[in-house]
Chains A and B, each alone.
Chain A
Amino acid sequence: MKPVATRRLPWARTVFWLYAATLMLPLLWMLGMSIRPNEDILGSFSLLPQRVTFDNYRTFFTDSAWYSSYLNSIVYTSINAVLSLVVALPAAYAFSRFRFAGDKHLFFWLLTNRMAPPAVFLLPFFQIYQSVGLFDTHLGVAIAHMLFNVPLAVWILEGFMSGIPREIDETAAVDGYSLPRFFVRIFLPMIRSAIGVTAFFCFMFSWVELLIARTITSVNAKPIAATMTRTVSAAGVDWGLLATAGVLTIIPGAIVIWFVRNYIAKGFALGRV
C-alpha cells in the first residue's frame, strides 16, 4: 500500500530529490576541487575537472601534520563520547527514578549549559586548562566538550529511561540484584538504542566544534580544523589541499550517520536534540 500521505502529492518526491541534489552541489563541488591541480583551479573556470590528480590526497596521508591532526580529532571525539556517556548514565538514571533535593533545579541548570555561547569560555578555558596541564591534550578537549555534551546526554538518556517501567527495577531488587549489577546486566541492554542515539549526538557535536578545540590545543592534540587554516600562506590559499581536507572530514560523519540511520528518526522523535 503506497504511503497514504504521498498519494496526494505525487510531485513531492520529485521536489525532495531536487532539494537533495541541490544540497549535494556544494559538496560535490568541493570534491571536484580536491582532485584538480591548483593551477587548474585558479586558471579557468570549468564545470568538470579537466585534469585529475590525487596529489592532494597523497599529501594528506603522507604529511604527518595532516593525518595526525585528523587522528587527533577522531581520538578526542571518541574519548568525549565515552566520558559523556559514563558520566551521564548514572545521573540520567537518578533523574528518571528518584526525587531528591534540588533535582528540578539541577536539571534545568544542566540544560542552560547547552545555551552558553562558546565564545564566552574561550579565555577561561585557555587559562584553566593550561594551569592544570590539560592544554594541548586529547583528554583536555574531550573534557572541554563535555560542557555541552553531558547535558545533552543526560537529557536524551533520561527521556528513554523514563519509558522503562519501574517494575523492572523492583523485580530485579526482589530477585536480589544489587544496583550496579542490575544496571549493567539488565538495564543497559534495554536502553541500547538510547545509548546509540546519545553516542551519535555526542560524536556529532564534538566532531563539528572548532572554537574551543582550537583554543586549547596547539600542536599535539591539534584538531584537523586548525590544520586546515595552515593552507593559507604568503603564496595564497592552497585550495586543492583545503578541499581535500574538507572532503575527508565529512567521511567519519557520513559513516556514523549510516550506522545509526535507524535511530536518527527515533532520537529526533524525542525532540531532545
Chain B
Amino acid sequence: MTVTRIEEPVADAAAPPETSDRQPDVKPKNNRAWLLVLPVVVSVAFTAVIPLMTVVNFSVQDIFSPSDRIFVGLEWFRSVSRDPEVRSAFLRTLMFSAQVLLVEIPLGVAIAVSMPRRGVWVSAALVVVALPLLIPWNVVGTIWQIFARADIGLGGWTVNNVLGVDFNYTLDSTDAWITVLVMDVWHWTPLVALLAYAGLRSIPDPYFQAAQIDGASGWATFRHIQLPRLRGVLTIAILLRFMDSFMIYTEPFVVTGGGPGNATSFLSILLSKIAVGQFDLGPAGAFSLLYFLIVQIVSYVFFTVLTRSGR
C-alpha cells in the first residue's frame, strides 16, 4: 500500500522560531587566522587608513604650494569649528537627519506591515519596493530635479496648478528643503521597509493564530507580536538612516546644488566645496576629521542607547 503524502502547506513560518543560530563561543584560539584576515586588512589599509593619514597630514599644515608648507598644529581645527558657515551646515544637517528619521521609520514600518507576505505578489512587491534603492544616486537626483519642476515635472506642475500652491525649488528655500526631504523619503524608505519586512516575516504563523484565538484586535496584535520583533531591525534601520542622511551628498547636490543660497548645503556639500572647489587642503583636512569624528561618536552613542534599551 503506498501512502501518498498530501502536501500540507507548512509555511516557512510554521517552524519553531529560530533561536540564535550562533554557536556557543568556544572558538579555538589560533593566531594564524591573521593570515586569512590579511587581505582585508591590506585592502582597508589602502582604501581607508592611508587616505586618512593624508587627511590628518593636511589638517595640521598650511599649504601654499606642494613645496611650501608650514606646521600650524590645531589651528585649522579651531578655525573650522568656529566658522559660522560650518556651524550652520552642521545644524542644518542635524535637522535634516532628524526629520528623515521621523518620517522614514514609521512610514517604512507601515509599508512593511501592509506588504503581501505570501502568494504570487510577493516577488513583484519586493522588486517594486526595492527599486529606488538600486538607482544611482545622481539619477535619483536627476529624477527629482525633473519631477519637482513646475514647468516640466509632474510633481511641480501638480502642486502649482492643481493644488494652487506656489512651488519653485530653485528660488524658494523652504520648497528646496521639502523637495530634498521628499526625495530622500522616496529614495530610502524602502530600506527601512525591507528591513522591517524581513523582521515581520520571521514571525511564525501560530503567533497570529494565537492572537486570533485570544481575540486580539489588529492594533493589539501589532503592539504585542509584531512590534517587539521589530526592535532589532529597527535599531539597525535607525542607525543606518541617521548615518547616511548625515553624510548625504549626491542627491541634494544634483537637485539644488546646495541652494538656493545655502538652504540645502549640508556638511558633505560644504566640505567638498572647500576641498575640491577651493582646494584649501588644510581647512578641508581639519573639517574632514571633525566630520568623521562626529559621525563616529554619534553613531556609537545611538548604537549603545538603542541596544541597551532593548535589554
Give residues in A with beta carbon < 8 Å to B: 1, 3-9, 12-13, 15-16, 19-20, 23-27, 29-30, 33, 41-42, 45, 47, 73, 83, 86-88, 90-91, 93-95, 97-101, 103, 106, 109-110, 112-113, 115-128, 143-144, 146-147, 150-151, 154, 162-163, 165-166, 204, 207-211, 215, 224-225, 228-229, 239, 242-243, 245-246, 249-250, 253-254, 256-258, 261-262, 264-269, 271-273
* 29 interchain pairs, CB-CB under 8 A: A24-B128, A24-B131, A26-B147, A29-B143, A29-B153, A91-B39, A91-B40, A100-B32, A110-B40, A115-B296, A119-B247, A120-B289, A122-B275, A123-B55, A123-B281, A124-B51, A128-B50, A165-B23, A207-B136, A208-B134, A208-B135, A209-B136, A246-B139, A250-B131, A253-B133, A256-B134, A264-B130, A264-B194, A271-B199
Residue among B44, B131, B153 with the highest chain A CB neighbour number at 10 A: B44
Q: Given A4-B208, A29-B154, A211-B249, A113–B114 Cβ distance below 8 Å?
A: no
Q: Once bound together, how far apart are the Cα atoms of A120 and B295, in whole Å?
A: 12
Judge whether A249 and B143 touch: CB under 8 Å: no
Q: Once bound together, how far apart are the Cα atoms of A144 and B46, in whole Å?
A: 9
Judge whether B131 and A27 touch: CB under 8 Å: yes
Judge whether A268 and B135 touch: CB under 8 Å: no
Q: Once bound together, how far apart are the Cα atoms of A198 and B37, in whole Å?
A: 18
Interface residue from B22, B194, B218 paired with A163 (Cβ < 8 Å): B22
Judge whether B291 and A228 touch: CB under 8 Å: no
User: Which residues of the other chain, A, contact B147 by a CB distance below 8 angstroms?
Assistant: 25-26, 29-30
Judge whether B142 and A265 touch: CB under 8 Å: no
User: Which residues of the other chain, B, contact A211 by a CB distance below 8 angstroms?
Assistant: 249-250, 272
> What is the predominant secondary structure among interface residues of chain A facing chain B?
helix
Q: Which of B77-85, B119-127, B166-174 contacts A (4 or more CB under 8 A)?
A: B119-127
B137 close to chain A: CB less than 8 A: yes
Judge whether B41 and A106 touch: CB under 8 Å: yes
Extra inter-chain contacts (5) besides given A113-B44, A225-B137, A265-B198, CB under 8 Å: A27-B131, A117-B271, A120-B292, A128-B51, A264-B194
B205 close to chain A: CB less than 8 A: yes
CB distance from B298 to the nearest CB of A (A): 9
Q: Once bound together, how far apart are the Cα atoms of A97 and B295, in whole Å?
A: 31
Judge whether B113 and A91 touch: CB under 8 Å: no
Interface residue from B116, B134, B146, B152 paired with A253 (Cβ < 8 Å): B134
User: Which residues of the other chain, B, contact A86 by a CB distance below 8 angstroms?
Assistant: 39
User: Which residues of the other chain, B, contact A106 by a CB distance below 8 angstroms?
Assistant: 37, 41
CB distance from A205 to the nearest CB of B (A): 10
Residue among B36, B201, B232, B292 with the highest chain A CB neighbour number at 10 A: B36
4 smallest A-B Cβ distances: which pairs? A253-B134, A124-B51, A269-B198, A163-B21
User: Which residues of the other chain, B, contact A45 by a CB distance below 8 angstroms?
Assistant: 151-152, 157
Interface residue from B32, B191, B226, B291 paired with A120 (Cβ < 8 Å): B291
Judge whether A3 and B117 touch: CB under 8 Å: yes
Q: Given A42-B151, A91-B36, A98-B29, A143–B43 Cβ distance below 8 Å?
A: yes
Judge whether B136 and A273 touch: CB under 8 Å: no
Interface residue from B41, B111, B131 paired with A19 (Cβ < 8 Å): B111
Judge whether B236 and A100 touch: CB under 8 Å: no
Judge whether A225 and B152 touch: CB under 8 Å: no
User: Which residues of the other chain, A, contact B48 by a CB distance below 8 angstroms?
Assistant: 113, 116, 121, 147
